[in-house]
Amino acid sequence: MKKSISFVLNGEPVRAEIEPHLTLLHLLRDELELTGTKEGCGMGECGACTVLLDGRPVNSCILPAMEVDGKNVTTIEGLIDAQGNLHPIQKAFIEHGAIQCGFCTPGMVLSAKALLDENPKPTEEEIRNAIAGNLCRCTGYLQIVQAIKAASNQ
């Protein structure tokens, strides 16, 4: 039986009628057509599906969509402003070579955003910790760490 949920998605109120077992990832990708959030493993291990729930990073592939009722969800589509300007973290990712195939990038950027929102001047160790749940097979992570550091004006 479908249930009704309401939440704020990228600053806009959203209502959805969903099956109780639907994951947030599938709600976003299949029902709301926001495909910036990726599915890499389907079991909360790779972090490609990371979105922010009330500012905290979560793996949307294992989160029942029911649980976002009344909360605030940010996806990669919500990071650029209305004029299409990039968030400073996104800019830094481009400038520092932190992107290769780009499949982990949305999740990685959101994990970085959650970190910098809470801790604007993180140490390198804190940066590594914050993205430890986001697997990247292309970059070797170092250019990503540099980008996040640069985005924090360090």
Partner 1 sequence: MKGEKRKVILKEKKVEIPLAKEELEVVGKQVIRKDGYEKVTGRLKFGADFDKAGFLHGKVLRSPHAHALIKKVDVEKAKALPGVVAILTAEDVPGRNGFGAIIPDQPVICGEKVRFIGDGVALVAAESEEAAIEALKLIDVEYEPLSAVFSPVEAMKPGAPKVHENGNLLTTVRIRKGDTEKGFQEAEVIVEQTYSLPFVEHAYMEPDVAMAIPHEDGTITVKGPMQAPFTVRRNIAPVLHIPISKVQCVQTHLGGGFGGKEDSSIDIGVRAALLAWKTKRPVRMEYEREEVTLSTAKRHPMIIQCKVGAKRDGTLTALEGTIYNEQGAYASLGPIIPPAGGTHAHAVIMLPGPYVIPHVKVDGYLVYTNHPYGGAMRGFGAPQVNFVHESIIDELAEALQMNPYDLRMKNCFELGSVTATGQVLDQSIALKETMRSAADQFEWFKRWRPPPSKEEVEKVEKRRGVGMAIGWYRTSIGTFSDGCGANVYVHEDGSVILHTGITEMGQGSHTVLAQIAAEELGVRIEDVRIVVPDTDIVPEAGPTVGSRSTTLMGNAIIMASQAVKASILEAASEILGVPAERLVARNRLIFDRDDQTRGVEFKEAARRALATGKRMMGQGWWAPPRPSFDVETGQGYPYFVYTYNTQMAEVEVDTKTGHVEVIKVVACFDIGRAINPILVEGQIEGGIMMGLGYAMMEEVLLKEGKVQNLNFQDYMIPTAMDAPEIVPMILEDPNRYGPFGAKGIGEMPNIPTAPAIINAVANAVGVRIRDLPAHSEKVFHAMRGRRG
Contacting positions for partner 1 (CB under 8 A): 29-30, 35-43, 45-46, 48, 75-77, 79-80, 86, 90, 93-95, 97, 99-106, 109, 127-129, 131-145
- Report, in Å, the least distance between residue 15 CB and partner 1: 22
Q: 6 or 19, CB closer to partner 1? A: 19
Tell how far CA 74 is from the center of its chain: 7
Q: 39 or 69, CB closer to partner 1? A: 39
- Report, in Å, the least distance between residue 49 CB and partner 1: 11
Q: 70 or 137, CB closer to partner 1? A: 137
- The sheet with strand 3-9 has its strands ordered as 12-18, 3-9, 72-74, 50-53, 56-59
- Tell me the C-alpha distance between 71 and 131, whole Å: 23
Q: 97 or 120, CB closer to partner 1? A: 97
Largest CA distance in the chain: 51
- Tell me the C-alpha distance between 16 and 1, whole Å: 13
- Report, in Å, the least distance between residue 9 CB and partner 1: 14
- Report, in Å, the least distance between residue 57 CB and partner 1: 14
Residues 6 or more apart whose CB falls under 8 angstroms from that of 153 comprise: none
Tokens standing for residue 5:
């949920």
